[in-house]
């Protein structure tokens, strides 16, 4: 069955996730949806120094938004900030250095941010695909720490601030790869069996879909969404999936095409007319499961995921400095 799911996903991707798929889908886009002035609104983008994160931040800056770039590498982040300011003329671009794989750092950052800024839109874009099992300084498997726990803590720590905002939104950048994974709460840190970085990443992305659905139920005043950017030519794809990149490089979407639905979800009035908690691709909600894939999970597993992440979250909150 896993072979079937992977094959269906790849064939589906060849058709829909490439540059050609974007060009086909974009024929039905309404350009006015994203031709909006967001001056006075505050956006936080994680993983914003390159790829889809930077492309999203740049487009929001063009529309007048205040943009907080949350990045791990200070040197690359400063270059990205300068590029965004220069190209858009928007001076309201702020830089924060945070490692999303370090839960104590996230808590420290979020608590300071809540006291100093307002926030209308959180964009969880930071992620990684580590192909060998590596542990962080906290003893966490690195993919899980970054993609799942980091996203969970950043979001839940900033929910109190978002609750105070008008038209608050949270967008999480997931992946179509999650379609080949059923939620597995018994081995969140990939301690059992052989380690496959691609499948661990896909499992993390399934977890992000579940998180979004659960948050949408719990926080009715915030619009939550999760999306697949398609297969885009980003530094992360080149470094984490070199074989895939070589095979598909002539068909990959541009960074801006990959970021298009993130931007639409972040700024368009049309996005929030749709229910909270949905999974999007090319500006429209799509199913979170392939036909006959048996990737649905029971409610108790989804509740267990939230419980375990909350336990981790509180543990690191109490351990964070300040």
| 52: Cβ contacts below 8 Å, ≥ 6 apart | 125, 173, 229, 232, 234, 255, 258, 259, 262
H or E element at residue 123:
strand 121-124
Active-site residues, by number, are: 201
DSSP-based three-state secondary structure for 10 = helix
**What percentage of the chain carries pLDDT values higher than 90?**
83
Give the pLDDT score at 11. 55
At 137-157, the pLDDT tens digits run 999 999 999 999 999 999 999
Instruction: Return d(Cα 235, Cα 73) in angstroms, integer.
Output: 14
**pLDDT at residue 318 in the model:** 81
pLDDT of residue 84: 98
Structural domains in the chain, sorted by start: 3-315 (3.40.50.720)
* Edge-to-edge strand ranges of the sheet holding 278-281: 93-97, 66-71, 42-46, 121-124, 168-173, 222-228, 278-281, 284-285
Q: Flag residues of the chain having pLDDT under 50.
A: 1, 4
Write down the pTM of the prediction: 0.94
Under DSSP, the state recorded for 250 is T
Q: Which of 215, 205, 210 is nearest to 178 (CA)?
A: 205
């Amino acid at each position: 069955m896993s072979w079937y799911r992977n094959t269906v996903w790849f064939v589906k991707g060849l058709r829909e996730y490439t540059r050609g798929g974007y060009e086909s889908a974009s024929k039905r886009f309404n350009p006015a949806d994203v031709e909006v002035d967001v001056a006075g609104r505050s956006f936080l983008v994680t993983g914003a120094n390159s790829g889809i994160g930077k492309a999203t931040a740049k487009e929001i800056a063009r529309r007048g938004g205040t943009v907080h770039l949350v990045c791990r590498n200070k040197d690359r982040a400063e270059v990205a900030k300068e590029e965004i300011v220069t190209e858009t003329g928007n001076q309201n671009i702020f830089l924060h250095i945070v490692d999303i794989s370090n839960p104590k750092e996230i808590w420290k950052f979020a608590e300071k941010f809540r006291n100093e800024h307002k926030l209308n839109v959180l964009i969880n874009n930071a992620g990684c695909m580590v192909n060998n099992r590596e542990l962080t300084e906290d003893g966490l498997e690195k993919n899980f720490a970054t993609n799942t726990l980091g996203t969970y803590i950043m979001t839940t720590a900033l929910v109190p601030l978002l609750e105070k905002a008008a038209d608050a939104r949270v967008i999480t950048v997931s992946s179509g790869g999650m379609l080949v994974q059923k939620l597995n709460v018994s081995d969140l840190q990939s301690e059992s069996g052989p380690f496959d970085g691609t499948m661990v990443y896909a499992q993390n992305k399934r977890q992000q879909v579940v998180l979004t659905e659960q948050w949408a139920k719990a926080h009715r005043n915030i619009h939550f969404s999760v999306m697949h950017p398609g297969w885009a030519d980003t530094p992360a794809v080149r470094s984490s999936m070199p074989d895939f990149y070589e095979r598909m490089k002539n068909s990959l979407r541009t960074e801006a095409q990959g970021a298009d639905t993130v931007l639409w979800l972040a700024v368009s009035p049309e996005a929030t007319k749709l229910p909270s908690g949905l999974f999007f691709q090319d500006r429209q909600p799509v199913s979170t499961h392939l036909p006959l894939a048996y990737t649905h999970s029971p409610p108790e597993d989804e509740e267990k995921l939230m419980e375990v992440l909350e336990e981790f979250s509180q543990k690191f909150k109490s351990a964070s400095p300040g």
